[in-house]
Amino acid sequence: MKQTLLWLVFACATAAQGAAPGAPPPVPAQALKPAAQQARAAHFAAELLSRYHYTGIRLDDALSEKIFDQYLKSLDPEKTIFLQADIDHLSDARTKLDDAILKEDLSIPFAIFDLYRHRAAERFAYARTLIKRDFDFQKDESYQVVRTTEAWPDTESDMRELWRKRVKNDWLRLKLAGKDQRRIVEILDKRYADFLKRASQVKSADVFQVYMNAYTMAIEPHTNYMGPRAAENFNISMRLSLVGIGAMLTRKDDYVTIRGLVPGGPAILSGQLKIGDRILGVAQGERGAMTDILGWRLDDAVVLIRGARDSVVVLDLLPADAGPDGPRKRVSLIRKTISLDARAAKASVRVVMDGKAARRVGVISLPSFYVDFAARQKGVQDYRSASRDVERLLEELKREKVDGVLIDLRNNGGGSLAEAIDLTGLFIDQGPVVQQRNARGEVSVESDTRAGVAWDGPLAVLINRGSASASEIFAAALQDYGRGLVIGAPSFGKGTVQSVVDLDRIAKNAKPRFGELKMTVAQFFRINGGTTQLHGVKPDIVFPTGSDAEHAGESSLDNALGWAQIAAADYVPAGEMKSLLPILLKLHQTRVQKNRDFQDLREDIAESERRRRNNLISLNEAERRKERDARETRLMRRDARRDAGRRAGDAGVGKASASGKDGAIRDDGLQPGERNLATELAAEKARKDADDFLLTEAVNIVGDQVTLLQTDARFAVRNTPGNVLMPH
């Protein structure tokens, strides 16, 4: 899990665009106070972490200092809110944050947050005054993009200079995107006022969660605290189902707005709701009182809309095409269990031509290793899980007579360890899959015990830097067994195992009050004895990537565990990929040398790396316009080339890439939530429809693999599951 920042808390609170220009800062005068159950939950979590966490680290003054630094980093990562004097003033708390938990008195961390919120209000209120001034865009000065390693400003004057450059950069981006002065003032004033409004809606539970995650991540980056609401959302993501109306919601200009309808859900089946409709009120039951939710946080509104299965919810709607004072309508819906199929495994068939021969490659995309834990524990026969869905898809692909299979695990951050083992078992006929070492140093081997395989043909796995944890277990096991190729970019490098602890269940609370703790309890190792920790899984065939170990992945996280190695497990390889690799690599390199998309990607990576090293952006309009024009020219040239390729029927050119006409790179100066809904949805569709040339090349590699195995008996014998190959 990436570092929890306060910005995420605010984003969870609302994505609205808030107060009117000129409105006073809506920051409450009264400080937030911790609830009694929060202090008890913190103490309870600390006892569990001290006893059962993999590192066995105790909560003391030394850890308190790390918590202090992590908390400040969570609140003010770019050093643009606090002054150095504030940090000096807070330094007395450096060794007292352990006592805040052990003595169940959270007043100090809440006081730190209160100072943060006060300072943030000052900064954004000042930003609003700056947009009414004129900027000199002919002056040669620059703005530092990333300030995470910088010191906090010494003086208020230094801080104001920082914010002057920040606002000037925001203004210049909008100006370069073609916005006039009136529109720029309107956008920026709303942007900064919106932050102030979001700050006013932060609750005690938000502060507590940020602080608790500063504590847990001071120990190790994948131990996290989840409050009751966050825990429920986590469980929804694992079981891929919830009880509700089947509408995807967002916040637009203080309105809870429908941005999508789930197929088969009550909302779409009613025929009365459509994308863009705004929900003004929610009532429980036909006779329930209507609760006005205008201006509410999105998560608070969602709680009202969700509910018990087969119960009635009534929505007060303002139709998408109606003005603010337009006619409303009331819609009654019966809540049902909604299956989140969009996040489940999916399969498709791609055809690769090898001369006159057509190679059919089945592609299975798996976004996460999900499982309905509760249904499985209750003994439900048809509970949903990733491995079960993939097994069903493999049967469908076999009926479609595919020659090879590619498992796409890009950006799959993991999930259930048991599902990673079961998924591996679909491709190997019994044997160890992963090793675990617990806090006592004891090593256990987790194995696939199910006889037979669901697919014994050519196989590959596609990964990238976003493939983590369970994805790495699966990819590493197939690589160690020689069962399939691993293609793409090095994976994330998360080699730890977490157990989710329901604090309320242990405390025997009747209702959710304490939340859940996702705690690292072991480190996992490959069956060859190595670990994916820090290093990740290295692909057999590597694709270019803009992510590197320094800026992305486990090694970029604070307090990450180190790399280690143990003895290999007792296993017998199921195939031998090394003999295929030289030929596959040569075929791959020949293709990509002619592939302009790969060349464009390398060009973009080099440019991105140049900007990252420089870490400065010019605030001179002429210089920025020159850079923008060069970038636009480059993108238009790519678009023209792709258009020409499509007209010529060039299969190697394909559709516009994600850097082309969909505007993914072209800077409109706007931030998420500031574009109208139609524009956002159109951009999402364009990204979805864009040519995935990395996937296409991975499919081509599987096609090459199929050809070699079908035409060369030497390779076929060495890569047939069931043939016993001695380790080498």
Q: Which regions of 543-690 does DSSP assign to beta strands (E)?
A: 616-618
Rounded Cα distance between 500 and 496, Å, is 13
Selection from 227, 233, 230, 232 nearest residue 515 by Cα? 227
Q: Which residues of 53-81 are buried (b: 16+ CB within 10 A; e: fewer)?
A: bbeebebeeebbebbbebbbbbbbbbbbb
Residue with tokens 């030929």: 583
- Enumerate long-range contacts of 585-590, CB under 8 Å, 24 or more apart: 585/541, 587/701, 587/704, 588/541, 588/697, 588/700, 588/701, 588/704
Three-state DSSP class for residue 512 = coil
Give catalytic status of residue 73 as yes or no. Answer: no
Of the residues 469, 491, 555, 556, which is catalytic? 469
Q: Are 97 and 64 in contact (CB under 8 A)?
A: yes
Distance of CA 243 to CAs 12, 17, 350, 709, Å? Answer: 20, 29, 36, 48
**170, 189, 194, 480: which is the annotated catalytic residue?**
480
659 is catalytic: no
Distance (Å, whole) CA 674 – CA 11: 13
Contact 264, 246 (CB under 8 A): yes
User: Exactly one of 66, 175, 197, 494 is catalytic; which is it?
Assistant: 494
**Catalytic site includes residue 668:** no
Report d(CA 19, CA 130) in Å as an integer: 17
- Is 6 within 8 Å of 224 (Cβ atoms)? no
Written as six digits, the tokens of 707 are 């050809």
The amino acid at 707? T
The token duo for 90 is 């807070």
- Would you name the residues annotated as active-site residues? 469, 480, 494
